[in-house]
Amino acid sequence: MNISVAGTGYVGLVAGVCFAEVGHTVTCVDVDEEKVKLMESGVSPIYEADLEELMQKNYAAGRLHYTTDYKSAYKNSDAIFIGVGTPEQPDGSANLSYIAAVARQIAETVERDCVVVVKSTVPIGTNDKVEQFIQDFLVRDVRIEVASNPEFLAQGTAVRDTLRAARIIIGTESEYAEKVLKEIYEPFGLPIVSVNRRSAEMIKYASNDFLALKISYMNDIANLCELSGANIEDVAKGMSFDERIGGKFLNAGIGYGGSCFPKDTKALQYLARQYGYELRTVTAAVDVNKEQKTRLFQKANDRFITFNRLKVAVLGLTFKPGTDDLREAPSLDNVALLLERGADIYAYDPVGAENFKQKYPEGENLNGTITYVSSPEEALDGANVCFIFTEWPQIRSVAPRVYQETMRTPIVYDGRNLYDLKEMKRAGVDYYSIGR
């Protein structure tokens, strides 16, 4: 099929490349000319495993195209996927202005019957509004139907999550739209769950918020483990054998981040309140996560008289390994607190440093300073204290003895529980983690 994709972020670009990989002809549309040129040269604007290789392969095969000319892209498409951002607004609701802009472009441009597929995460009922909005501005006498097709990819494994998804969710209001989407996804060979549009929209939020609940629950239990003398890793292991619970998302740490969980929990909270209902479980997850992010800093703050002019090693800046995304990363909250208290930070991240520099340029910041280094060992050299915020392999591979040998005072606050407690003790490291 001839498919167009509006937006070339994590959702749009990954979807477009994967559609091309299974044989469709795909045009990815973006407003940024420099970004389009970058993609045409085979370079991905986002850090994502396997993405560049598939971009280059399918562009060379003539199945994948990039453009800023939405008019030529949309006019003869069988399906147009909308994958633009829906950022969080101050009140927790989703900003749908980018969705609306694309919808109007489609209405004024299409010259044949097509299905418009909203892949972005949107509040329940948004697809109904998008269809009405398109009808309000439709220029030609063509059949346009809107469908919901939420994504369930995780950053760092987005390509694999798309090509080998557990299921494909499609939300439609007609046999025509359902048929088109099933034809698009037939080459993937994956289970398809077909529901109405509002159910599809809710499945996305309900799925993400359930995982956020699971993370916050385990962090809450981890905090109680510390007080009661239990070990959260032993607890999680015992829980994982119960097939009703499963073994995923049981790792305790300093909270979730990224582009999905924080935004989607707040958006569902906002939606529920619009209906006069309070999602108490989701509210609890949000509250726990907010406090969890700075739990290690609070521990360190109780120990140190001051951070002023202390050399602080920060290992890991992104919200998770495998991505350069900093959205809602725990490092942001903690670095801000450390800089306010005059710390001299030496920060390491294998791919996230350049993005972090946009928020905290190298040199003086607030009351402290920040220096970006090229290895964990460089950050640790002569440090008074170390914070670990991301479980990158490059950080995990640092041996316990390295902390003792390179730091001025080997004091480590580990937000990802990377090390065995006994090994760190034998190495002479004063080691603090989560729930142990």
pLDDT digits (tens, 9 = 90+) for 22-46: 999 999 999 999 999 999 999 999 9
What pLDDT is stored for residue 430 in this prediction? Answer: 98
What pLDDT is stored for residue 413 in this prediction? Answer: 98
Does the pLDDT value for residue 421 go beyond 90?
A: yes
Residue 380 tokens, joined: 């640790």
Find out whether 202 and 242 touch, Cβ atoms under 8 Å: no
What pLDDT is stored for residue 92 in this prediction? Answer: 84
Find out whether 158 and 51 touch, Cβ atoms under 8 Å: yes
Exposure string for 21-35, b = 16+ CB within 10 A, e = fewer: bbebbbbbbbeeeeb
Mean pLDDT value across residues 231-252: 97
Does the pLDDT value for residue 184 go beyond 90?
A: yes
Closest by CA position to 17, among listed 44, 70, 55: 55
Residue 97 tokens, joined: 């202005």
**Position of tokens 């769950």?**
193
d(CA 234, CA 242): 14
Find out whether 153 and 160 touch, Cβ atoms under 8 Å: no
Q: What is the pLDDT of residues 68-99, one digit of tens each?
A: 999 999 999 999 999 999 988 888 888 999 99
Backbone angles phi, psi at 265, to 5 degrees: -65, -40
Residue 251 — pLDDT band, cuts 50, 70, 90?
Answer: very high
What string of DSSP letters covers 296-328?
A: HHHHHHHH-S--TT-EEEEE--SSSTT----TT
Residue 276 — pLDDT band, cuts 50, 70, 90?
Answer: very high
Find out whether 87 and 93 touch, Cβ atoms under 8 Å: no
Give Cβ neighbours of residue 71 (< 8 Å, ≥ 6 apart). Answer: 105, 109
d(CA 86, CA 109): 23
Residue 202 tokens, joined: 């809710």
Question: What is the CB neighbour count within 10 angstroms for residue 1?
Answer: 16
Residue 191 — pLDDT band, cuts 50, 70, 90?
Answer: very high
Residue 380 — pLDDT band, cuts 50, 70, 90?
Answer: very high
d(CA 270, CA 276): 10
What pLDDT is stored for residue 259 in this prediction? Answer: 83
d(CA 229, CA 217): 18
Find out whether 5 and 24 touch, Cβ atoms under 8 Å: no
Q: Percent of the chain scored above 70 by pLDDT?
A: 100
Question: What is the CB neighbour count within 10 angstroms for residue 102?
Answer: 24
What pLDDT is stored for residue 294 in this prediction? Answer: 97
Q: What average pLDDT does the chain have?
A: 96
Residue 410 tokens, joined: 């080997």
Q: Percent of the chain scored above 90 by pLDDT?
A: 97
What pLDDT is stored for residue 93 in this prediction? Answer: 87
Residues serving a catalytic function are 260
Find out whether 181 and 147 touch, Cβ atoms under 8 Å: yes
